[in-house]
């Protein structure tokens, strides 16, 4: 009897140890905008800067997920890192409107509850993605816009800054070029339509979350709002299908409800995540000249980073620990692809 008890105890100890030591399955994918991105217009130094922040962001996200932080909060933390980088069209470094101001948009969605929050056209909220989370958690609404959104953000203690906090010399020059082209009747650079940051995650509890933050289009007017703050267009998350964040020419992503369409194909047609994302980006958007891309994650830890533009700043670590960091659209991972 004593020998049997000993064996049972040893087996239980081994089983318990195996469970304790097993690393939970988490996954993350993120983007920093899509568009005309080629090696011919990017110096090695610029490329290195982008690769560094993409790597920093994806590693931060995975480490926080492994610590057990809820997916929604990880999405906010990683996007805030990118909002604070002048390299991206979100937060500090956002593009300028025709009038030389910044109007920022963001949204977030919790795949477990389908709760969502968004802000649009804010000008003084330092972190639009934090404001979007606050709308989701601390109000009865889904989207707040303009001065109302700013008043709400201030009322819940979010940091408020002057509008010129977001300004960089690079964006001032981009606005000058845009206005000069428009006033001369010349075609404008396609990059004026693109640029967003977004993050999708699978957390240790098996919950999905997605978030997106942007400064919109260079030279935009009349309070234009793109797809980034619109649930179903630029952001969507549902534990029963996938989480998606989009970047590109927002008008097309709104018309074709890109994020929710991808998740619907997974949920109702049983398609693999990458297949569903490819179909929407290439078979639906491309024929109508809708340019851009998405990052997405599935409940099993699969990730997809699909785009039809020349490039997309992107990084991911899937549920198996495979890490990818890339910029260009030639199939080359400009950086790292490894099993972590």
Q: Residue 54: is its pLDDT beyond 80? A: yes
Identify the architecture of domain 24-339 in CATH.
4-Layer Sandwich (3.60)
| Six token digits for residue 15 | 């089983």
Q: Where are the domains of the chain?
A: 24-339
Neighbours of 107 (CB within 10 A): 35
- Residue 338 has a pLDDT of 36
Calpha distance 132→107 (Å, rounded): 5
Position 173 scores a pLDDT of 94
Query: pLDDT band at 16, cuts 50/70/90?
Result: very low
Average pLDDT over residues 167-194: 82
Surface-to-core class of residue 288, CB atoms within 10 Å of its CB (0-12 exposed, 13-18 middle, 19+ buried)? exposed
Q: The pTM is what?
A: 0.90
Cβ-proximal residues to 192 (8 Å cutoff; 6+ apart), any chain: 95, 174, 178, 217, 218, 219
Mean pLDDT of the chain: 90
Higher pLDDT pick, 39 / 226: 226
Q: Which long-range contacts (CB under 8 A, 24 or more apart) does 65-70 make?
A: 65/26, 65/27, 65/28, 65/201, 65/202, 65/203, 65/204, 66/23, 66/24, 66/26, 66/204, 68/203, 68/204, 69/203, 70/203, 70/205, 70/207, 70/209
Instruction: Check residue 25 and give its pLDDT.
Output: 94
Average pLDDT rounded to a whole number, residues 13-32: 70
Per residue in 213-263, pLDDT (tens digit) is 999 999 999 999 999 999 999 999 999 999 999 999 999 999 999 999 999
Q: Which two tokens stand for residue 232?
A: 């179903």
pLDDT digits (tens, 9 = 90+) for 70-107: 999 999 999 999 999 999 999 999 999 999 999 999 99
Task: Write down the pLDDT at residue 275.
Answer: 98
Asked about 196 being catalytic, the answer comes back as: yes
What's the pLDDT score for residue 190? Answer: 58
| 3-state SS class at 154 | helix
Give the H/E segment covering residue 133.
helix 128-138
- Quick one: pLDDT at residue 110? 99
Do 301 and 26 contact (CB within 8 A), yes or no?
A: yes
Give residue-wise pLDDT tens across range 238-251. 999 999 999 999 99
Pick from 40-49, 113-122, 181-190, 265-274: least confident: 181-190
Q: pLDDT category, 189, cuts 50, 70, 90?
A: low
- With beta carbons less than 8 A apart as the criterion, state whether 200 and 318 touch: no
Residue found by looking up tokens 């991972």 in the block = 333
Of these residues, 196, 212, 218, 235, which one is catalytic?
196
**Model pLDDT, residue 36:** 74
**Predicted local confidence at residue 40, as pLDDT:** 79
| Mean pLDDT, range 170-185, rounded to an integer | 90
């Amino acid at each position: 009897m004593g020998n049997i008890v000993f064996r049972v105890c040893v087996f239980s100890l081994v089983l318990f140890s195996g469970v304790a030591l097993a690393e939970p399955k988490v996954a993350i994918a993120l983007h920093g905008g899509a568009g005309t991105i080629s090696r011919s217009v990017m110096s090695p130094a610029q490329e290195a800067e982008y690769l560094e922040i993409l790597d920093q962001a994806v590693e931060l996200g995975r480490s926080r997920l492994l610590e057990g932080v809820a997916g929604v909060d990880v999405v906010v933390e990683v996007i805030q890192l990118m909002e604070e980088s002048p390299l991206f069209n979100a937060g500090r470094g956002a593009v300028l409107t025709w009038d030389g101001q910044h109007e920022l948009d963001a949204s977030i969605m919790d795949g477990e509850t389908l709760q969502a929050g968004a802000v649009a056209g804010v000008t003084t909220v330092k972190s639009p993605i934090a404001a979007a989370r606050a709308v989701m958690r601390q109000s009865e609404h889904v989207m707040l816009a303009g001065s109302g959104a700013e008043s709400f953000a201030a009322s819940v203690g979010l940091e408020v800054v002057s509008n010129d906090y977001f300004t960089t010399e690079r964006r001032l020059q981009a606005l000058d070029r845009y206005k000069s082209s428009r006033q001369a009747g010349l075609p404008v650079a396609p990059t004026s339509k693109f640029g967003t940051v977004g993050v999708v995650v699978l957390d240790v509890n098996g919950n999905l979350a997605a978030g997106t933050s942007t400064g919109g289009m260079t030279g935009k007017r009349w309070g234009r709002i793109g797809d980034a703050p619109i649930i179903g267009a630029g952001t969507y998350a549902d534990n029963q299908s996938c989480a998606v964040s989009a970047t590109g020419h927002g008008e097309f992503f709104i018309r074709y409800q890109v994020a929710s369409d991808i998740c619907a194909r997974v949920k109702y047609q049983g398609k693999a995540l990458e297949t569903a994302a490819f179909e929407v980006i290439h078979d639906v958007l491309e024929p109508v000249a809708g340019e851009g891309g998405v990052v997405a994650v599935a409940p099993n830890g699969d990730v997809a980073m699909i785009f039809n533009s020349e490039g997309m700043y992107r990084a991911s670590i899937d549920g198996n620990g495979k890490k990818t960091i890339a910029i260009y659209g030639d199939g080359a991972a400009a950086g790292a692809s490894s099993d972590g």
